[in-house]
Amino acid sequence: MAELGKFTMEAVGKVVEGGNEGLVMREKKGVDLELGDLLAIDSGQKRFITMVSALEYGSNIDAERIYRSAGAELEKQHHEVTFLDPDINLFRRVMARILLEVKAEEGDRLKARAPRSIPDFMSKARMVDEGDFGFLETPDDKITLGKVRSGSKRLKCDYCMDGSKMLSHHVLISAQTGRGKSNLVKVMLWEAMKRERFGVLVMDVHNEYYGRGSQAGLKDHPDARERLVYYSKDPPPGQKALKINLRSIDPQDLVGVLKLTDAQSDAVYMYRHKYGREWIRSLMSIDEEKASEYTLKVLRRKFEILFMLTEQVDGSYRCGGEIFNMETAGEATVREMADALEGGKVVLVDGSSISDDTGLVIASACLREAFRKYEGYKMTGELDSMPQLGVVLEEAPRVLAEGTSGSIFSRIAREGRKFKIGLIAITQLVSVIPPDILANIGTKIIMGNEMAFERKRLMESAAQDLSAYDQIIASLEKGESIVSSIFSQFPVPIYTPLFEDVVREEEGASPPAGRAPEKRALKFY
């Protein structure tokens, strides 16, 4: 039979009260536990992993005497107040939530499950060690998100998830500005590029993922030549020029981008049905009786702005910008993007020099083509052998909010799991995302958020009970997060390292001065 293992680490507290809803411990003097610390309690044949959820003062001295003594010292009636045996009579009470119950089983293995009992009365608690997580295994398609945390202390073990499962059931990354969302996404993409099992589309709004010039980026990945494709108005050598032919655009790509009335929407689909792939050129130049003059006038104005169209002397239109084209240039771009995703590559689109609307239209066209191909693979029985696809949505609420049900993004959110296409939705405002879509997101990576209403929505939609995490989420610092997933046995606190450090470690460079090299890593799934 497997054994839990013996630990000689010093006790930091002792269980004195509580139950299955939460334990109360007396903290050992000078230990100084903090919110989010992970504690292990060995009790009989079981080990309980707990999390510090609240702290408060405790005393064996009469409360009236304490208040009277404090007042006397404050009002300078006494120089210093002392108590008999303060180390015994004055202490801190630690409230801890039980996260996991680990027990030994036959066959030299450990099993963890949701807690169904509580540790023995007066059991000792100690700080967790990486050995406490020996029941976890390494997934084949792992994506490393960072280091496991205990409060603000980082353990010497990685936190990994099965990338295929995680992406197929969607990912939400929620945080306020400056908490490390982009850094986390870069680390995730770096991990995805280590294998040919993931194709991810990224509309890089700030052009921060590729790494232009001396800036560290995905271009520095050892497999970048085979697994990274970068589109830009001004591409570096070996990368792609961002040029999109308007024949590649479908009315579906406008949902969530342009606000269209029912009459305008009817006109758009009427032109698409009648003129096929030439529908945009035709809408700009041909007056159809079924569409009113006013409707066409407003539509043409919106299209002029979105696609940077300018009217010529003969009444025809041409694209005035560098991205869209009405002639022959860029006809294969959308198809090539979809092919690259199918080939298990990360496709970066430089969105720094184009509008957000333009970027969403391009992303929609690419994903629509990828979805069409994967629908075909599902019908022919080939889907299981294809790479898992994903798309990073920087403006998730905009394309997932109420009224966008016709968009490809909304369709992926609701049906993508069946076709191996998932979302990586990034947002500050979770409350804007419809509840049914939020419930469909299997993994939520929760970073620091000071808005109580947003924290409440996150906790309500999480895979595990996060009722004790409100203050912890509010106090998370840059790079820190809580991972709540249907594929995880408990809410995992992690720290994601700086992307530059990840690149440096991959290159085999020494860590910066003052930072110890990482030791043996334990993988999670």
pLDDT tens digits for 295-345?
999 999 999 999 999 888 777 888 887 899 988 899 999 999 999 999 999
- Choice between 86 and 442, residue whose per-residue pLDDT is larger: 442
Determine the pLDDT at residue 436: 86
Judged by average pLDDT, the poorest of 223-237, 299-313, 345-359, 504-518 is 504-518
CA–CA distance, 411 with 432 (Å, rounded to integer): 17
Q: Mean pLDDT over all residues of the chain?
A: 89
CA–CA distance, 430 with 478 (Å, rounded to integer): 19
CB 319 within 8 A of CB 326: yes
Say yes or no to pLDDT of 516 above 60.
no
What's the rounded mean pLDDT across residues 379-398?
91
- Summarize pLDDT for 240-292 with one digit per residue, the tens: 999 999 999 999 999 888 999 999 999 999 999 999 999 999 999 999 989 99
Determine the pLDDT at residue 78: 66
Nearest to 97 by CA among 36, 155, 13: 36
Determine the pLDDT at residue 392: 94
Say yes or no to pLDDT of 522 above 50.
no
CA–CA distance, 293 with 451 (Å, rounded to integer): 47
Where are the alpha helices (H) located in 45-125, listed in sequence order?
A: 63-74, 86-89
Nearest to 170 by CA among 402, 386, 444: 444
Say yes or no to pLDDT of 4 above 90.
no
What's the rounded mean pLDDT across residues 200-217?
91
Query: What confidence tier does 64 reach under pLDDT thresholds 50, 70, 90?
Result: confident
CA–CA distance, 246 with 328 (Å, rounded to integer): 9
DSSP H or E run through 402: none
- Summarize pLDDT for 446-467 with one digit per residue, the tens: 999 989 999 999 999 999 999 9
- Choice between 196 and 425, residue whose per-residue pLDDT is larger: 425
Determine the pLDDT at residue 388: 97
CB 358 within 8 A of CB 254: no
- Summarize pLDDT for 121-137 with one digit per residue, the tens: 999 999 998 888 877 77
Determine the pLDDT at residue 147: 92
101 Cβ neighbours under 8 A, 6+ residues apart:
46, 47, 48, 112, 113, 114, 115, 116, 117
77 Cβ neighbours under 8 A, 6+ residues apart:
none
Say yes or no to pLDDT of 506 above 50.
yes
- Summarize pLDDT for 99-125 with one digit per residue, the tens: 999 987 766 677 888 999 999 999 999
Determine the pLDDT at residue 75: 83
Determine the pLDDT at residue 6: 57
Query: What confidence tier does 175 reach under pLDDT thresholds 50, 70, 90?
Result: confident
What structural domains and CATH numbers belong to the chain?
Answer: 13-133 (no CATH), 142-146+178-241+331-442+496-506 (3.40.50.300), 247-325 (no CATH)
Q: Which long-range contacts (CB under 8 A, 24 or more apart) does 383-388 make?
A: 383/419, 383/420, 386/342, 386/420, 387/196, 387/197, 387/198, 387/199, 387/341, 387/342, 387/343, 387/344, 387/420, 388/141, 388/163, 388/164, 388/167, 388/168, 388/197, 388/198, 388/199, 388/420, 388/422
Of 112-116, 286-290, 357-361, 387-391, where does the model show the most confidence? 387-391
Say yes or no to pLDDT of 201 above 90.
yes
Structure tokens at 55: 């702290």
CA–CA distance, 175 with 158 (Å, rounded to integer): 22
One-letter amino acid identity for 196? Answer: E
Determine the pLDDT at residue 88: 86
- Summarize pLDDT for 412-436 with one digit per residue, the tens: 999 999 999 999 999 888 888 888 8
DSSP structure string for 214-230: TS--GGGSTTHHHHEEE
CB 321 within 8 A of CB 315: no
CA–CA distance, 334 with 4 (Å, rounded to integer): 54
Judged by average pLDDT, the poorest of 354-358, 367-371, 402-406 is 402-406
Strands 443-446, 171-174: parallel, antiparallel or unpaired by DSSP?
parallel
Determine the pLDDT at residue 444: 96
pTM over 0.85: yes
Q: Given the structure tokens 């801190």, which residue do they identify? A: 92
What's the rounded mean pLDDT across residues 483-507?
93
Determine the pLDDT at residue 105: 73
Determine the pLDDT at residue 130: 86
What letter does residue 490 receive in the DSSP assignment? S
Judged by average pLDDT, the poorest of 1-15, 23-37, 303-317, 457-471 is 1-15
Determine the pLDDT at residue 397: 77
Determine the pLDDT at residue 106: 65
